[in-house]
Structure 1
Amino acid sequence: MDLQLEGRTAVVLAASRGLGFACARALAAEGARVVLAGRHEGTIAEAAEHIRRETGAEALGQAADITRAEDIHNLFGTAITHFGGIDSLILNAGGPPPGRFDDFDDETWQQAFELNLLSAVRSVRAALPSLRASDAGRVVSIASSSIREPIDGLLLSNVFRAGLLGLTKTLAAELAGDGILVNTIGPGRIDTERVRELDAARAEREQRSLEAVRGESLSRIPLGRHGEPAELARVVAFLASPANGYVTSQALLVDGGMVRAL
């Protein structure tokens, strides 16, 4: 399938590694010009160079701490100046720390809000004039399978991923008249550093072996394995492309059948 991304420009948040990097690479492989945002200048520049070498696409790395309004402003200003506009926005952010209600003070709640929800609000606001000017404006947010079923021990993520879904569902309705399609992806157990870190933290907390923790998680997945970042990225690339002409306001799980909720 031709995703019709040749000559299109996509901005991908938190793209130095993991799901963000996989999404940027998938979009570039389909011909899109990509702007990768990441907190550390050296790391994000290296990620962009990797994509340029592998795909031959134009890829720009921009250092940006997405919890800072000024950094988001500069990110989108640079993207628009460099490429002339934005067609697709991939909302992504690292996960907040694991824990239960009694573990978190106000400062930690505020940090999680700024990272996982306010960053999306600010990014959409900054990208919106350009998305409206595009004939195929697309927004895809990467949340979590917790948008359908809360995950034990991930209170902060459960709260703010649900908030992100509320934001994108509302935006899908409000921006439909502008031809902008807005969807949310809920990753399940995708083999990323984040998932491995969470498994290690759980194993330590429960005083169990890492192998036992991972085996228990795998037993809940009907496909019997973790997903690969590239598998999720291909879904994102479609939703973020002009080939997607009629899918909007959806929350799609990429979880190997793990979540049983209707």
Structure 2
Amino acid sequence: MDLKLENRTVLVTAGSKGIGLATARGFHAAGAQVAICGRSQENLDAAAALMPGCFAVAGDVSNADDIERIVTSVSKTFGGIDILVNNAGGPPPGLFVDLDDSDWAKAVELTLMSVVRATRLVLPHMQAQKWGRIVNISSTGVKQPVPGLTLSNSIRMAVLGWAKTLANQVGSDNILVNTVCPGFTNTDRITQIFESQSAATGKTVDEISQGLAAQIPLRRIGQPEEIANLAVFLGSEAASYITGTAIQVDGGSVQSPG
């Protein structure tokens, strides 16, 4: 399958580790010009070294000024951003009774406003050329809430509603907006969740991991590359008639049929 990604520029936010890095490497392998951002310069340097020609810029997507600086820098380097992959580490686990207004505000900045701000900045270029792709990396929590992830389950639903609404508004400009919903995937995020569950239950991280895998129809936790494969496809010309949808990559763990 020809993804027709040559001469396309993609920005993958939080692209130095985990699903973000796997996605950036997938686009790079498909011939796209790749830019990544992340908070750690050390991690960015290590990631960029894996992708010759990759442009890396440090910044925090929960900070509005950083997002503007990142997008401006990438746009000046490559002449615009054709594909935006909105990715960020999820907000911390927590029960509703343990969360205060500050926790909610930080989660909104990280999970919702980072996506809104980055997309607002890249849309003019996409609209001018009548071609663009917005791919959001979310969670199966938007289809089946994950126990203990109060902030993530709540705010990611807002992103999903925003994405569907935006898809309807920019479809006539040939700009496609889709959301990838990873299930449990082997990243630092899953380790954080398992450690939180371990502290709450007294079980070891290995016990929690093995117990979870046993409940997944494919009997294993996913790998970042398996999420990236869908993200790269949705960012390509091959996905030219797919927009406004949310697709889970979860080994069958979500029990709803769609």
| TM-score, L = length of structure 1 | 0.96
1:41 deviation in Å?
2.3
Amino acid corresponding to residue 49 of structure 2 in structure 1: E
What's 1:88 paired with?
Answer: 83
Indicate yes or no: 2:230 matched with 1:240. no
Count of aligned positions: 257
Unaligned runs of 5+ residues in structure 1 are 53-57
Amino acid corresponding to residue 2 of structure 2 in structure 1: D
Indicate yes or no: 2:251 matched with 1:259. no
Listed as ranges, the matches of 1:54-93 within 5 Å are 58-93=53-88
Identify which of 224, 232, 236 aligns with 1:229: 224
Unaligned runs of 5+ residues in structure 2 are none
Listed as ranges, the matches of 1:1-262 within 5 Å are 1-52=1-52, 58-262=53-257
Q: Does structure 2 conserve the Cα–Cα contact (< 8 Å) formed by 1:136 and 1:241?
A: no
Q: SS at 1:28's partner residue?
A: helix
Amino acid corresponding to residue 254 of structure 1 in structure 2: V
- Say which is worse superposed, 192-201 or 247-256, in terms of deviation: 192-201
Q: Does structure 1 conserve the Cα–Cα contact (< 8 Å) formed by 2:131 and 2:173?
A: no
C-alpha separation in 1, matches of 2:129 and 2:45? 27
1:18 deviation in Å?
0.5
Identity among equivalent positions (%) equals 41
Amino acid corresponding to residue 48 of structure 1 in structure 2: A
C-alpha separation in 1, matches of 2:58 and 2:211? 38
Q: Which runs of 4+ in 1 moved over 4 A?
A: none
C-alpha separation in 2, matches of 1:134 and 1:160? 31
| TM-score, L = length of structure 2 | 0.97
Amino acid corresponding to residue 40 of structure 1 in structure 2: S
1:79 deviation in Å?
1.0
C-alpha separation in 2, matches of 1:130 and 1:41? 28
Q: SS at 1:65's partner residue?
A: coil
Q: CA RMSD in A?
A: 1.0
